[in-house]
Structure 1
Amino acid sequence: MSKKVLDLEKGNSYLTEKVKALENTTKDQQFCSRNSTIEIRNVPIKDNETLDDLVSVVTGIGKIIGENITRADLRDLRRVPGKQGGAKTNSG
């Protein structure tokens, strides 16, 4: 019985360390993800908006600020839900 308890304690210790390591990995990934995120607000929603429309908005903003942004520069482009009851614009 004593050996079983020791084995369980050892297993529990291993799993606790593994969970800590996974939590740290998750925090690191979230930090890196936020590092490459840009939020653009108050862009009017176009009827039947496509990904190409959003790419056009972002590349157009790039031209205005003097940055050459290409589609290849964009890893993930999407609208996120806005506040309820707000105007018909969302972050993109």
Structure 2
Amino acid sequence: MNKSDLIDAMAADAGITKAAAKKALESFLGNVEKSLKSGNRVSLVGFGSWSVSKRASRDGRNPQTGETIKIAAKNVVKFKAGSELQNSVN
């Protein structure tokens, strides 16, 4: 399912227009992004939670040349599925 499929499904389930569903989805995604950028965790009980963790810099290897390279530190987004979502998939 891609973004437009999700918008179509949200509009059909909620009985709203596709434009309203798109606006709601973009608002949700924007607020999750804003919260993660400020270092907060986003948690939806039963569905899952998003958090940001720091990945330290490390040495890597260029697979073509075998040369050692330095990989910079960065922040990564992590998602942990909630128990209800996990159980529904299994």
Higher strand share: 2
When normalised by structure 1's length, the TM-score is 0.32
Bigger Cα Rg: 1
Higher RCO structure (Cα 8 Å, ≥6 apart): 1
TM-score, length basis structure 2: 0.33
